[in-house]
Amino acid sequence: MIRSRFSHVQTWVFDLDNTLYPPEARLFDQIEVRMTDWVMRELGIDRDAANSLRRDYWHRFGTTLAGLMRLHGVDPSAYLYEVHDIDLGHLTPDPHLARGIAALPGRRIVYTNASRPYAERVVAARGLAGLFDAVYGVEHAGFHPKPERAAFEAVFATDGLSPDRAAMFEDDPRNLAAPHEMGMRTVHVAPEPTEAPHIHHHTDDLAHFLGQLAAA
């Protein structure tokens, strides 16, 4: 019974992008264009070079921004605002997901590598406003991104949550490794499963999964 595996959980931590909305919304396509444009303009390089730099930073540092800060001294605030200034018209409210989240006993938070203002816009567009006790972005981790353990530690310390009494829902398997190490229950939310020792559960339908956790 899956519910028994979560009976100790007091805090429910949700990633944002491609977790609280399906990847079919393709918001990341818009964000990626803006990130690439930003890198081209600010570093004075062409599109191919910008795309390969971004891929390289994503692998080495976790995000494009982390590499830009580390190697180019970029100011994160202007960057974060610009790359997330996108059209959310593809997002629709999800009442099924809203019911699933509302039914979870305990504290419910969002933790994203994007910024809090953007996360709050996305949460509202999905009809999930008012369901979360807190929303944290990369700015709350001193701009260290997931998957760095230090980023999770900073945000969780701010929130006051106990990882061994918490669950993490996330589409990027890399971002479940540190939570698992810290004692969290881990749920991979994605169309396809990824086999990894740090992933306890997989679902391609978050609303359905949460429905299984609701009290009978």
Interacting residue ranges for Mg ion, rule: CB under 5 A: 15, 17-18, 171
The minimum distance between CB 17 and Mg ion, in angstroms, equals: 4
- Output 164 or 206, the one with its CB closest to Mg ion: 206
Of 17 and 159, which has the nearer Cβ to Mg ion?
A: 17
Which residue is at the shortest CB distance from Mg ion? 17
Distances (CA, A) of 80 to 15, 26, 75, 146, 189: 17, 18, 9, 15, 24
Q: Residue 45 or residue 207: which is nearer to Mg ion going by CB?
A: 207
Which is closer to Mg ion, CB of 53 or CB of 190?
Answer: 190
Interatomic CA distance for residues 98 and 212, integer angstroms: 14
- C-beta of 7: minimal distance to Mg ion in Å? 26
CB of 172 to Mg ion, least distance (A): 5
Which residue type sits at 58?
W
Three-state DSSP at 156 gives: helix
* Pick from 188, 204, 18, 185: nearest CA to 104: 185
What residues have CB less than 8 Å from 34, skipping those under 6 apart?
A: 82, 83, 84, 85, 86
Return the residue matching tokens 């949700």. 14
CB of 113 to Mg ion, least distance (A): 7
Closer by beta carbon to Mg ion, 39 or else 110: 110
Rounded CA separation 161/157 (Å): 7
What are the CA-CA distances from residue 51 to residues 29, 41, 76, 86 (Å)? Answer: 13, 13, 19, 19
Q: How far is the CB of 73 from Mg ion (least distance, A)?
A: 26
